[in-house]
Amino acid sequence: MEFELWMLLVFPLFFGMGWLAARIDIKQMLFESSALPRSYFQGLNFLLNEQQDKAIEAFIEVVKVDPQTIELHFALGSLFRRRGEVDRAIRMHLNLIERVDLDEDKKQQALFELAQDYLNAGILNRAEELFLKLQATSYANAALNFLLELYQKEKDWFKAIDVTHRLTVLSGQSHGKEAAFFYCELAAAELTQHRIDAARIHLDQALEANPQSVRATMMLGDIENLAQHFANAIEIWQRIEKQNQQYLPLVAERLLQAYRQAGYVDQGIEMLQGYLIKYPSLDLMNVLFDAILQRDGAEAAYRLVRDELQRNPTLLGLDKLLEARLLEVSIEHRADVAMVKNLVHQRTRTLAMYRCANCGFKARQFYWHCPACHGWETYSPRRSEENGQKI
């Protein structure tokens, strides 16, 4: 593009406009700063000197002088709550609520913030009371979500289920997945008291709320298995393939034992071999390895692991292969194989973990409810290495 002479006139014009805009912004900022009460700057100074109590008092004075600074009050209250200084957050929000000149929207906002303060402080009864008061306000959806968190902390599963129903009505989005887990918790409590019929009712409710609830299906199968209704247990556990086949390894051992108790262990092994071909899994392979080792011997077990390792190469599979080789290797080579296996096994200890997809917490056992972040069904039923996760 050729240079035009008229461009020489445009550049100074743009520069002048930018300078003028900057001057206007500076004047506006100086005007707004001069309009702020002295208490505002005192509060900032107290904060810089880490004198939070005096800062709070100063900012309270700012709010009294200039109602437009109420948002600053809210921001500070939230800041203190996030820092764990909930007592200060409570003081600030209580002070706002007690003001007679506060409009209704701001009062509802203050109630919402105060309820969160109480929740963080562990004063659950006060938090519940305030969240319930907000049901007919614009904060209803958020308040219900906090109530759901609160009732889970208290393990009040009936109230938690009621909240999921209200959230579904209010938001139009299903909360059946959470409700199913709460029904499962109720069923688990009934089972500890040996109230089998009551547990069945809750598990049926769980499946009604969420037909894909693998946990409810597993628990129903467990009930049938304990009653020695092995055929029923097998039929129920097999439904997991249609719900979510990734969870089949969690019931592989139970399925095989039920077949064994029913006198059909060969059919059980054949079924698990079919699952392993369709849904490769280290846990499935481990169950099959032990079963074939017991039935057919070390060589057959070794072939199973070798073939699976060729299909799906993993360090965990290699560890199992070396275990199989140790069972049949000659005495003079056993020490060498054992040494290699021990080295591989040390490495695989960090790979044979279940990992929460929400917070990353790792555990050797599978959890439906993460002990770290308290998320439901956030653990993959597959080991870390199978999911390609770096440990």
Q: Tell me: is residue 184 an annotated ligand-binding position.
A: no
In angstroms, rounded to a whole number, what is the distance separating the alpha carbons of residues 305 and 320? 7
39, 61 in Cβ contact below 8 A?
yes
3-state SS of 56-125? HHHHHHHHHHCHHHHHHHHHHHHHHHHCCCHHHHHHHHHHHHCCCCCCHHHHHHHHHHHHHHHHHHCCHH
Alpha-carbon span 44 to 210, nearest angstrom: 52
Report the run of H or E that residue 379 belongs to, with start and end: none
CB 323 within 8 A of CB 298: no
**Is 356 annotated as contributing to ligand binding?**
yes
* Spatial separation of the C-alpha atoms in residues 117 and 92, rounded to whole Å: 10
Contact 62, 40 (CB under 8 A): yes
Cα–Cα nearest to 272, from 324, 264, 323, 310: 264
Do residues 175 and 160 lie in contact, with contact meaning Cβ atoms separated by under 8 Å?
Answer: no
User: 373 among the known binding-site residues?
Assistant: yes
Nearest to 53 by CA among 65, 42, 63: 42
Query: Taking the mean position of all CA atoms in its chain, how far away is CA 172?
Result: 22
Q: Is-contact 76 62, C-beta < 8 A? A: no
Mark the binding-site residues, compressed into ranges: 356, 359, 370, 373
Mark the binding-site residues for Fe cation, compressed into ranges: 356, 359, 370, 373
